[in-house]
Amino acid sequence: MTRPPHTQPADDALPPAKHHAHPPAIILVKPQLGQNIGMVARAMLNCGVTDLRIVAPRDGWPQETAYSTAAGADVVLDNATIHETTADAVKGLTYVAASTARMRGMTKPVVSPAGAAAEIIARNTGDVTTCGLLFGAERTGLENEDIVLSDAILNIPLNPHFTSLNIAQAVLLVCYQWHSYSGAMPDWRLETNEGDIAPRDKINYLVDRLEEELVRANFFKNPDMQPSVMQNLRNTFIRMNLTDQEARTMHGVISALIERR
Amino acid sequence: MTRPPHTQPADDALPPAKHHAHPPAIILVKPQLGQNIGMVARAMLNCGVTDLRIVAPRDGWPQETAYSTAAGADVVLDNATIHETTADAVKGLTYVAASTARMRGMTKPVVSPAGAAAEIIARNTGDVTTCGLLFGAERTGLENEDIVLSDAILNIPLNPHFTSLNIAQAVLLVCYQWHSYSGAMPDWRLETNEGDIAPRDKINYLVDRLEEELVRANFFKNPDMQPSVMQNLRNTFIRMNLTDQEARTMHGVISALIERR
């Protein structure tokens, strides 16, 4: 599940390239507060998810309070579609996961955000939206009649002693998981604004030169220790991942210390 | 990176058991708004992360507005420690990742929330906190003098055209990733409140009985089609993952339809 730190994945372990991944629809069933709809839109657009479907919003549509909390994600709100029923909102979809913390006496698969994201990445590969995520009203959540229309229950694993999660935070977690699976960035890379990482021979040369200077300075009181001390020093320098420029700086540091001596 | 849907991971693919995973510290450097500190505390506790360290909060400490937005996560705020400098706040830590969207002309590893979570899971296994995550002031972010104290830059991959993310949302995404890696729940499981999944022999018996009744009802106009039609039907019933109770209901449905005939 987790990739070991400090390793780049093999090409075939990478998630599918971004242009094959089509985002899911986010379906809000009977949302109560316009400000929550706005924060949902913001979280969606953060993750490149734009298909918002709203079933029977309590306070009608459009709502000014939604725009005020969307932090600029107006495009999502402008293109939101309004539906009378959940059945109408899921038309055309072939996979629907319904977010709920409570199990409902129904036999259904239960997926985490990662599980839902993997399903959506695997299924929603074409140009049309075939996957959707259902979220219920803030206070009451989804009704069983909504959940039965879904393929799976989406359960966000949280601290069992503190599960209070705003609807926009729930949408953010699931959309982010989809977005990160869709090839957003590797889990680890080395940023080198200054230039290239120094090749191993330059590091070896640096350590060889350091050893030479240390011998001249009688650093090795006991010559038997020299190989193991130098192995440790070489290991340290290689772990530093020096750039070419940083390696040159290290040469300068050695030269300066010699001069001073 | 993603696990194929509908497969349970092998035991050795599971993340480490929860009790081995020690949560990271969350370090807020010069936060401006108390309400954001409160929302950070809420997001932390959602994910079982409780060690909050605050460097030079603009409006002092404690702050009433923090408690008002913490939605009950008071325990995190009560135990927060206040520090004059970032260097003081990272004392005792051996791995620190600094959240920033901008690269800083420093050669540093860049990790995603998943990459940071994997590092923390791998490193922070004891009883004391050795890993921390740095977040800067809302408006200005972290200073270079904070970032240089870190092992890695934490970069949250978002829609490049819309990266506006509240500090509490950033904390939530990273803490959630750590929490989900710490063994919260499998990505996929089948919830069966009603009882056990019917074993394959019961499903086969159901399909065999259905076939018998279909032959009696002259369903197969062309007998050559019978094997392939039955193969499809058997596949459909097996894919349903029926519980024992649901399989009995199906038998009842068949019986009722026969009666009616």
Q: Is the pLDDT of residue B167 over 50?
A: yes
- Separation between Cα atoms, residue B188 and residue B233, nearest integer Å: 25
- A-chain residue closest to B169, CA distance: A169
- Most confident segment among A18-27, A167-176, A252-261, B232-241: A167-176
Q: What is the pLDDT of residue B14?
A: 37
Mean pLDDT confidence for A25-34: 97
Q: Is residue A201 within 8 Å of residue A242, measured between CB atoms? A: no
Mean pLDDT confidence for A7-25: 55
Mean pLDDT confidence for B10-32: 70
Backbone dihedral region of A83: left (phi > 0), alpha (psi from -120 to 50 degrees) or beta?
Answer: beta
Of residues B99 and B14, more confidence is placed in B99
CB contact under 8 A, B107 and A192: yes
pLDDT band at B212 (very low <50, low <70, confident <90, very high): very high
Q: If DSSP codes are grouped into helix, strand and coil, which group holds residue A75?
A: helix
Shortest Cα distance from A185 to chain B (angstroms)?
Answer: 6
Mean pLDDT confidence for B22-36: 96
For residue range B90-104, list pLDDT tens digits in order.
998 889 999 998 777
Using alpha carbons, select from B194, B27, B203, B12 the residue that is nearest to residue B98: B27
- Separation between Cα atoms, residue B206 and residue B200, nearest integer Å: 10
pLDDT band at A16 (very low <50, low <70, confident <90, very high): very low
Q: What is the pLDDT of residue A18?
A: 46
Q: What is the pLDDT of residue B21?
A: 82
Q: Which residues of B touch A72 (CB under 8 A)?
A: 162, 164
- In the 8-state DSSP scheme, what is residue B96? E
CB contact under 8 A, A3 and B114: yes
Q: What is the pLDDT of residue B19?
A: 46
Q: What is the pLDDT of residue A20?
A: 63
Burial class (CB in 10 A: 0-12, 13-18, 19+), B168: buried
For residue range A200-235, list pLDDT tens digits in order.
899 999 999 999 999 998 899 888 999 999 998 999
Q: Is the pLDDT of residue A1 over 60?
A: no
- Separation between Cα atoms, residue A64 and residue A167, nearest integer Å: 19
**Model's pTM, two decimal places?**
0.80
Q: For tokens 């120094």, what's the residue?
A: A198
Mean pLDDT confidence for B28-57: 97
For residue range A115-174, list pLDDT tens digits in order.
999 999 988 878 889 999 999 998 899 999 899 899 999 999 999 899 888 999 999 999
Q: Which of A47-61, A176-190, B22-36, B77-91 has the lowest mean pLDDT?
A: A176-190
CB contact under 8 A, B73 and A162: yes
Mean pLDDT confidence for A181-190: 80
Q: What is the pLDDT of residue B224?
A: 92
Q: Is the pLDDT of residue A236 over 70?
A: yes
For residue range A35-69, list pLDDT tens digits in order.
999 999 999 999 999 999 999 999 999 999 999 99
Helices of type H across chain A: 34-46, 64-69, 74-78, 86-89, 113-123, 144-147, 167-181, 200-216, 226-239, 244-260
Mean pLDDT confidence for B2-26: 53
* Token pair of B115 as six digits: 């990459």
User: Chain B 205-234, CB below 8 Å of chain A: which residues?
Assistant: none
pLDDT band at B261 (very low <50, low <70, confident <90, very high): low
- Separation between Cα atoms, residue A4 and residue B114, nearest integer Å: 10
Q: What is the pLDDT of residue B163?
A: 87
Q: Which residues of A touch B176 (CB under 8 A)?
A: 156, 158, 173
Q: Is the pLDDT of residue A186 over 90?
A: no
Is the CB of residue A151 less than 8 Å away from at least one CB of chain B? Answer: no
Is the CB of residue B74 less than 8 Å away from at least one CB of chain A? Answer: no
For residue range B101-126, list pLDDT tens digits in order.
877 777 888 999 999 999 999 888 78
Q: What is the pLDDT of residue A4?
A: 36
